[in-house]
């Protein structure tokens, strides 16, 4: 589902050029969970941005569901993202002016889908927030906000879910619950998870360790072992 | 994205920002209200004038000349109109002094209207007692009907005796002010009515006297006065007969209103643009806070165009809401104030003002508001549409590639061009003048650019020097001026522009007041004598000198027309037929001139071409006003043929002059060298200065007692009337000025509201670090005080420079600084803005320190 070949990313140019990612090869199949780990500055978030088409690689190619992202202009890339990728962020990134239910509906609405209230409500029910549907993000706890974000990420049943430190701002209990939900609701998607937490990485099928912008190691886990 | 969805998202964006968006709405509403109110007012006044056009003239059309309308073309035209069923009344008008017979009062300059027939032909003029204007009553023993101002000033009542020239008359009544009444008009010589049969007995109609002969016509229904005028215009012009229709009579009063309304509309437009600037500023602050939302939307699949659509709809909605509120308020406010407007216009306008709900004015204000707010508001929206989705993931997003930046710059440039275009379009619509549009756009654009530059400079200075300021509160307060998102530039521009506009208005008003304050201007004469007969000249001069008059200037005046230039008749074809639109240049070709003669140039003029004679040249020479020469295509050495009461006089043009009429010295556009012209019948005029009001009044009374046909014009009285009119205009302008200042405060309030969340967080942090409420208050006051002081200083300085440059050009006068008013303005603006900012930001100092832990 996700295919990255010899992906590299430089910032700046000439003598001020800084290579933050280089020679990354990655393939993730539907139903597979891949964790990307590494110390700060190792290029984890940069790689996630490239896989999402939020950023463009300096070298190499990224394809999602067979579509090479570089071939899409900005508008098509946005629509493609809406259809194929679900996001979960460390800082939740809910739209503060929309209620929980409205936040969940957004990706489907942007795709032009109608009657999205029922599936959005059902998803909120599944993440245990049916009674908080009309609350605004400021009225929710961190764990609740992340559960809303997960519901939002899966409402269009995207083939890819990208999660950036999804439990980074949560305590361990809330983090566990959120991760369980993410894996459950995204069971049919290819999930790429950026984390610096080895316990969470161990719950993935595969862990790709980055250091200084390169793949240092690839470790296969038995999902749920940790 | 479906429009309904974009609208829903746009509405959702307002949910947690209604406070700051309310300021956006208020900014634009104030501007639109000002503009709509001005248009409602002007339209109401103009419609009142037009609906009473016939009553204003008292007829369908009028014929006028400075020769009796008997015989020739006038008689032919009259006969034709009478055959068509026309009813006529003849009036002879001249100015003279009215003197009460009872000692110790007057004299007073009046315009005598000598009637022959029923007047007016339309409507009626109320008098006290009723029927005083009845022709039969006036035709018997000599009687006069007075203007109420004359009756009041000279304490005259029905039955009192007055003199006009050599004739003694009984006051038979006083005009009652009302719609269409001559008692409602404004003039330096208020009208009084007598019967034409008594005019000769006054002895005022002599050779060379200034007399106008009018004939008014009431035509049967269906008669097309405009078409008749069109058919007979050229024939009448060639015979020196003027024709005016009732529409033109109303329109010429409207011309004054037109100028006033354009000025007010421009002031209203300035308020609107200030409001638009407020929208741009508030939107900018709003957009900064919504960048993350936009990035998230982009991550979730929204295209830049869709993000733009959401926020553009929001801006449009804010503009529409503000414009609707403003248009409603602006359309209704003048109706609520109809009584006050009526009092303000009393004696300035010859009609009663009826205001009504003017949908056209409201629509115009609405359109202008939507245009200004949309164009200015969209400037910051471009930024949010281009926000990279990566921002949702990380803050340190690399700048976009040069091609994208170039494209963004092009879009921004396009929007700036649209903003400039909008300013020009709105200015053109309001001023209907290309030059005024460019002046306005240049002045506002220049002022905004300069103020923005000053603001940027201030931010750079505070960034560099704030840390050296003594005391923490001052340091922190000044440092806040370059706080990210503080909108220092737009707030400073808004308050500075308001101060600039209001300060300039104050300076212009004071400077004009000084120009007309004849009693304070030692260099100007304060009395004019008109209609001094040649035989009376020596005696009049002796009396004037005995009264201690200074700077006595006496000049002969002879009525003449320009007949030929270099042997060719003056071309009267192609002049504007509509009297209400006729320009000064048009009238130069048809009017009668008062020409003078003397042996040398005078101080109040400058010879710009040729040589002005000295003494008595051998041939008859003439010196012309430069504009007159240019307009008629007259060159040096051309022979100009004057028609002096039927007799031709050839004179060689030997110089052109520019005349400083503001010097108030007797002068003329056509000045002849002494010679044969001295034999022409004419009169003299004189100017001089007598400082003491009592001495002036005694001299006037003595002069009239001995020479009843003299007109004495006391300029101090006229100046008082002009000041009264200026005061009323100033009142309206002050209202607009107040609105400008309030708009500035609204913009500051909007900015404070927009940055409130940041300030609350910062205040909580400072409290954690040990700051007390008092400390936070002092920091806030320092910041707003510095901002307001800087804005007031910058705006005031700009106003000083602009008025010092503009006054000599547009008013030929030096700018006078009303120090007291300017000081009050400065203190008021600073207090208003600091007060508004503290009021809106009052929750900041009360922010609980615990909040910082909840973040």
Q: How far apart are CA B558 and CA B251, in angstroms?
A: 31
On the question of a cis peptide bond just before residue B129, with omega within 30 degrees of 0, the verdict is yes
Residue B515 region by backbone torsions, left for phi larger than 0, else alpha for psi between -120 and 50, else beta:
alpha
Of B390, B394, B292, nearest in space to A51 by CA: B390
**Among A155-159, B155-159, B487-491, whose mean pLDDT is lowest?**
B487-491
Q: Report the residue of chain A nearest B291, measured CA to CA.
A: A95
Q: How far apart are CA B333 and CA B344, in angstroms?
A: 15
For residue B468, give every residue at least 6 positions away whose Cβ sits within 8 Å of its Cβ, in sequence order, or none: none
pLDDT at residue B580 in the model: 61
Is the model's pLDDT at B422 over the cut of 60?
A: yes
Spacing of C-alpha B407 from chain mean position: 44
- For residue B518, what pLDDT band results from cuts at 50, 70 and 90? low
**Among B87-101, B246-260, B609-623, B810-824, whose mean pLDDT is lowest?**
B246-260
In our burial notation (b when 16+ CB lie closer than 10 A, e otherwise), range B277-303 reads bbbbbbbbbbbbbbebbbbbbbbbbbb
DSSP-derived pairing of the beta strands B621-625 and B527-532:
unpaired
- Cβ–Cβ under 8 Å, residues B101 and B160: yes
Q: How far apart are CA B173 and CA B132, in angstroms?
A: 5
pLDDT at residue A226 in the model: 43
- For residue B855, what pLDDT band results from cuts at 50, 70 and 90? very low
pLDDT at residue A167 in the model: 86
Is the model's pLDDT at B592 over the cut of 60?
A: yes
User: Which residues of chain A neighbour B408 with C-beta distances below 8 Å?
Assistant: none
Selected residue with higher pLDDT from B448 and A162: A162
- For residue B257, what pLDDT band results from cuts at 50, 70 and 90? low
Which of A17, A109, A142, A152 has the most B C-beta neighbours within 10 Å, making it the best mutation to test the interface with B?
A109
pLDDT tens digits for B593-625? 889 999 999 988 999 999 999 999 989 999 999
pLDDT at residue B760 in the model: 79
pLDDT at residue B757 in the model: 74
As a whole number, mean pLDDT of residues B46-54 equals: 66
What are B553's strand-pairing partners?
B687
Instruction: Indicate the Cα dihedral angle B798, B801, B806, B809, nearest 10°.
Output: -160
Q: In percent, how much of chain B has pLDDT > 90?
A: 16
pLDDT at residue A122 in the model: 93
pLDDT at residue B382 in the model: 78
pLDDT at residue B339 in the model: 67
Whether residue A48 and residue B393 make contact (CB cut-off 8 A), yes or no, is: yes
pLDDT at residue A101 in the model: 92
Q: How far apart are CA B379 and CA B490, in angstroms?
A: 13
pLDDT at residue B854 in the model: 47
Q: How far apart are CA A213 and CA A41, in angstroms?
A: 8
Name the DSSP letter for residue B208. T
As a whole number, mean pLDDT of residues B15-36 equals: 81
Q: How far apart are CA B203 and CA B446, in angstroms?
A: 61
Contact B407/A at CB under 8 A: no
As a whole number, mean pLDDT of residues B575-580 equals: 68
Q: Report the residue of chain A nearest B12, measured CA to CA.
A: A97
DSSP-derived pairing of the beta strands B670-672 and B593-597:
parallel
At B437, list the tokens: 């549009």
Q: CB burial class (10 A; 0-12, 13-18, 19+) of residue B18?
A: exposed
Q: Whose structure tokens read 């959702």?
A: B12
User: For chain B, how many residues are written?
Assistant: 855
On the question of a cis peptide bond just before residue B624, with omega within 30 degrees of 0, the verdict is no
Mean pLDDT of chain B: 81
- For residue B545, what pLDDT band results from cuts at 50, 70 and 90? very high
Q: Report the residue of chain B nearest A93, measured CA to CA.
A: B296
Spacing of C-alpha B772 from chain mean position: 53
Selected residue with higher pLDDT from B113 and A98: B113
Angle at B463 between CA B460 and CA B464, to 5 degrees: 90
Which of A19, A51, A95 has the most B C-beta neighbours within 10 Å, making it the best mutation to test the interface with B?
A95
Q: Whose structure tokens read 């615990």?
A: B850
Global pTM value: 0.66
Cα of first residue to Cα of last residue in chain A, in angstroms, is 26
- Which of B5, B296, B302 lies nearest to residue A93, judging by beta carbons? B296
Is the model's pLDDT at A168 over the cut of 90?
A: no
- Residue B218 backbone phi and psi in degrees, to 5: -110, 120
Which of B301, B384, B391, B854 has the most A C-beta neighbours within 10 Å, making it the best mutation to test the interface with A?
B301
At B9, list the tokens: 């998202």
Contact B304/A at CB under 8 A: yes
Whether residue B15 and residue A102 make contact (CB cut-off 8 A), yes or no, is: no
CA-based R_g, chain A, Å: 17
Contact B306/A at CB under 8 A: yes
Contact B299/A at CB under 8 A: yes
Q: How far apart are CA A181 and CA A167, in angstroms?
A: 12
As a whole number, mean pLDDT of residues B459-488 equals: 76
pLDDT at residue B543 in the model: 93
Q: Choose the most confident range, by mean pLDDT, from B49-53, B94-98, B206-210.
A: B94-98
Is the model's pLDDT at B348 over the cut of 60?
A: no
Whether residue B297 and residue A110 make contact (CB cut-off 8 A), yes or no, is: yes
Q: How far apart are CA B742 and CA B398, in angstroms?
A: 42
Q: How far is the alpha carbon of A49 from chain B, nearest alpha carbon, in Å?
A: 7
Q: How far apart are CA B37 and CA B42, in angstroms?
A: 8
Is the model's pLDDT at B131 over the cut of 90?
A: no
Is the model's pLDDT at B657 over the cut of 90?
A: yes
pLDDT tens digits for B732-786? 667 767 777 777 777 777 777 777 777 777 777 777 666 777 778 888 888 889 8
Q: How far apart are CA B148 and CA B247, in angstroms?
A: 27
Half-sphere exposure for A120 (CA within 13 Å, toward CB): 22
Q: In percent, how much of chain A has pLDDT > 90?
A: 38
As a whole number, mean pLDDT of residues B796-808 equals: 83
A 10 A CB-CB count for B433 gives 13
Is the model's pLDDT at B513 over the cut of 90?
A: no
Is the model's pLDDT at B42 over the cut of 90?
A: no
Contact B760/A at CB under 8 A: no
Q: How far is the alpha carbon of A203 from chain B, nearest alpha carbon, in Å?
A: 23
Q: Choose the most confident range, by mean pLDDT, from A147-151, B23-27, B96-100, B714-718.
A: A147-151
| CB pairs < 8 Å spanning A and B | 86
| 3-class state of residue B463 by DSSP | helix
Q: Report the residue of chain A nearest B1, measured CA to CA.
A: A110
Q: How far is the alpha carbon of B377 from chain A, nearest alpha carbon, in Å?
A: 21
pLDDT tens digits for A183-211? 988 889 999 999 888 888 998 999 999 99
Of B154, B828, B786, nearest in space to B458 by CA: B786
On the question of a cis peptide bond just before residue B120, with omega within 30 degrees of 0, the verdict is yes
For residue B342, give every residue at least 6 positions away whose Cβ sits within 8 Å of its Cβ, in sequence order, or none: B352, B353
Whether residue A98 and residue B398 make contact (CB cut-off 8 A), yes or no, is: no
Q: Give Cα separations from B246 to B87, B550, B741 (angstroms).
A: 15, 45, 42
As a whole number, mean pLDDT of residues B670-693 equals: 89
Is the model's pLDDT at B345 over the cut of 90?
A: no
Q: How far apart are CA B353 and CA B343, in angstroms?
A: 9
As a whole number, mean pLDDT of residues B222-243 equals: 87
**Among B96-105, B496-505, B526-535, B807-816, whose mean pLDDT is lowest?**
B807-816
Q: How far is the alpha carbon of B32 from chain A, nearest alpha carbon, in Å?
A: 30
pLDDT at residue B431 in the model: 72
Whether residue B301 and residue A107 make contact (CB cut-off 8 A), yes or no, is: yes
Is the model's pLDDT at B32 over the cut of 90?
A: no
Q: How far apart are CA B524 and CA B636, in angstroms?
A: 32
| 3-class state of residue B478 by DSSP | helix
Q: How far apart are CA B782 and CA B778, in angstroms?
A: 6
- For residue B187, what pLDDT band results from cuts at 50, 70 and 90? low
Name the DSSP letter for residue B216. E
Q: How far apart are CA B252 and CA B576, in angstroms?
A: 14
Contact B393/A at CB under 8 A: yes
What are B564's strand-pairing partners?
B569, B641
A 10 A CB-CB count for B769 gives 9
Of B686, B522, B518, B665, nearest in space to B603 by CA: B665
As a whole number, mean pLDDT of residues B722-731 equals: 70
Is the model's pLDDT at B559 over the cut of 90?
A: no
Alpha helices in B300-358 (DSSP H): 304-336, 338-345
Contact B292/A at CB under 8 A: yes
Q: Report the residue of chain A nearest B388, measured CA to CA.
A: A54
Q: How far apart are CA B430 and CA B447, in angstroms?
A: 20
Q: Whose structure tokens read 């602009």?
A: B802
């Amino acid at each position: 589902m996700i295919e990255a070949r010899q992906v590299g990313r430089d910032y700046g140019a000439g003598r001020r050029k800084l290579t933050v990612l280089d020679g990354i090869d990655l393939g993730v199949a539907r139903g597979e969970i891949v964790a990307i780990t590494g110390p700060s500055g190792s290029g984890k978030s940069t790689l996630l941005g490239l896989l999402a088409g939020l950023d463009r690689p300096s070298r190499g190619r990224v394809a999602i569901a067979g579509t090479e992202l570089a071939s899409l202009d900005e508008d098509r890339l946005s629509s493609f993202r809406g259809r194929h990728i679900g996001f979960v962020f460390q800082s939740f990134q809910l739209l503060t002016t929309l209620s929980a239910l409205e936040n969940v509906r957004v990706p489907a609405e942007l795709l032009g889908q109608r009657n999205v209230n029922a599936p959005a409500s059902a998803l909120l029910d599944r993440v245990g927030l049916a009674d908080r549907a009309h609350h605004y993000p400021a009225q929710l706890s961190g764990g609740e906000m992340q559960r809303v974000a997960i519901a939002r990420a899966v409402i269009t049943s995207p083939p890819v879910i990208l999660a950036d430190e999804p439990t980074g701002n949560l305590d361990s209990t809330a983090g566990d619950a959120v991760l369980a939900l993410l894996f459950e609701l995204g069971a049919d998607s290819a999930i790429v998870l950026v984390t610096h937490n080895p316990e969470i990485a161990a719950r993935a099928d595969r862990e790709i360790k980055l250091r200084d912008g390169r793949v240092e190691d690839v470790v296969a886990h038995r999902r749920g072992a940790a | 994205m479906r429009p309904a969805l974009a609208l829903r998202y746009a509405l959702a964006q307002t949910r947690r920002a209604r406070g700051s968006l309310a300021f956006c709405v208020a900014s634009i509403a104030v501007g639109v209200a000002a503009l709509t109110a001005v248009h409602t007012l002007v339209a109401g006044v103009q419609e009142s004038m037009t609906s009473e056009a016939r009553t204003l003239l008292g007829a369908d059309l009028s014929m006028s000349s400075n020769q009796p309308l008997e015989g020739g073309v006038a008689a032919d035209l009259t006969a034709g109109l009478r055959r068509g069923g026309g009813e006529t009344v003849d009036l002879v008008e001249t100015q003279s002094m009215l003197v009460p017979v009872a000692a110790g009062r007057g004299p007073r300059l009046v315009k005598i209207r000598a009637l022959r027939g029923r007047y007016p032909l339309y409507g009626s003029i109320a008098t006290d007692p009723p029927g005083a204007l009845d022709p039969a009553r006036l035709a018997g023993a000599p009687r006069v009907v007075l203007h109420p101002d004359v009756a009041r000033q000279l304490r005259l009542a029905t039955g009192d005796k007055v003199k006009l020239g050599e004739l003694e008359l009984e006051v038979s009544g006083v005009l009652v002010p009302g719609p269409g009444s001559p008692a409602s008009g404004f003039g330096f010589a208020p009208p009084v009515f007598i019967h034409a049969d008594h005019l000769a007995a006054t002895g005022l109609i002599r050779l060379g006297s200034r007399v106008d002969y009018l004939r008014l016509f009431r035509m049967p229904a269906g008669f097309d006065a405009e078409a008749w005028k069109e058919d007979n215009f050229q024939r009448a012009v060639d015979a020196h007969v003027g024709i005016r229709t009732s529409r033109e009579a109303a329109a010429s009063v409207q011309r004054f209103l037109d100028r006033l309304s354009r000025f007010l509309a421009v002031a209203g437009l300035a308020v609107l643009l200030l409001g638009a600037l407020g929208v741009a500023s508030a939107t900018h602050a709003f957009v900064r806070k919504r960048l993350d939302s936009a990035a998230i939307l982009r991550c979730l699949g929204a295209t830049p165009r869709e993000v733009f659509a959401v926020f553009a709809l929001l801006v449009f909605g804010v503009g529409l809401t503000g414009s609707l509120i403003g248009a409603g308020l602006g359309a209704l406010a003048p109706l609520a104030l109809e009584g006050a407007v009526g009092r303000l216009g009393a004696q300035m306008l010859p009609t009663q003002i009826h205001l009504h709900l003017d949908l056209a004015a409201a629509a115009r204000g609405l359109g202008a508001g939507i245009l200004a707010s949309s164009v200015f508001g969209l400037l910051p929206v471009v930024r949010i549409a281009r926000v990279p989705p990566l921002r949702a993931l990380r803050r340190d997003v690399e700048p976009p590639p040069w091609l994208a930046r170039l494209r963004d710059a092009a879009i921004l440039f396009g929007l700036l061009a649209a903003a400039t275009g909008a300013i020009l379009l709105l200015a053109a619509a309001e001023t209907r003048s290309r030059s005024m549009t460019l002046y306005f756009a240049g002045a506002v654009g220049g002022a905004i650019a300069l103020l923005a530059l000053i603001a940027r400079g201030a931010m750079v200075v505070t960034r560099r020097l704030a840390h050296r300021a003594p005391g923490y509160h001052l340091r922190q307060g000044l440092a806040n001026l370059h706080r990210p998102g503080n909108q220092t530039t737009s707030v400073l521009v808004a308050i500075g522009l308001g101060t600039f506009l209001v300060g300039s208005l104050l300076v212009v008003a004071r400077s004009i007041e000084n120009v007309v304050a004849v009693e304070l201007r030692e260099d100007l004469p304060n009395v004019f004598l008109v209609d001094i007969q040649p035989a009376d000249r020596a005696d009049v001069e002796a009396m004037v000198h005995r009264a201690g008059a200074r700077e006595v200037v006496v000049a002969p005046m002879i009525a003449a027309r320009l007949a030929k230039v270099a042997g060719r008749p003056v071309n009267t074809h192609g002049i504007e037929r509509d009297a209400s639109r006729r320009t000064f240049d048009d009238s130069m070709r048809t009017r009668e001139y008062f020409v003078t003669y003397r042996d040398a140039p005078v101080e109040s003029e400058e010879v710009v071409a040729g040589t002005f004679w000295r003494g008595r040249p051998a041939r008859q020479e003439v010196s012309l006003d430069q504009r007159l020469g240019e307009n008629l295509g007259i060159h040096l050495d051309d022979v100009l043929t004057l028609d002096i009461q039927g007799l031709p006089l050839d004179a060689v043009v030997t110089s052109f002059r520019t005349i400083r009429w503001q010097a108030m010295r007797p002068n003329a556009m056509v000045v002849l060298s002494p010679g044969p012209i001295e034999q022409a019948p004419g009169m003299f005029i004189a100017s001089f200065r007598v400082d003491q009001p009592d001495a002036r009044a005694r001299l006037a009374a003595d002069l009239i007692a001995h020479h009843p046909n003299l007109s004495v014009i006391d300029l101090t009285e006229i100046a008082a009337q002009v000041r009264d009119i200026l005061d009323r205009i100033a009142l309206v302008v002050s209202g607009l000025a107040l609105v400008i200042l309030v708009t500035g405060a609204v913009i500051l309030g909007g900015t404070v509201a927009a940055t409130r969340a940041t300030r609350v967080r910062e205040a909580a942090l400072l409290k954690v670090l040990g700051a007390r409420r008092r400390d936070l208050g002092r920091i806030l006051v320092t910041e707003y005080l510095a901002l307001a002081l800087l804005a007031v200083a910058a705006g005031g300085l700009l106003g000083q420079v602009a008025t010092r440059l503009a006054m000599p050009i547009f008013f030929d006068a030096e700018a006078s600084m009303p120090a007291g008013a300017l000081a009050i303005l400065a203190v008021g603006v600073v207090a208003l803005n600091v007060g508004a900012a503290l009021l809106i930001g009052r929750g900041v100092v009360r922010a609980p320190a615990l909040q910082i832990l909840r973040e």
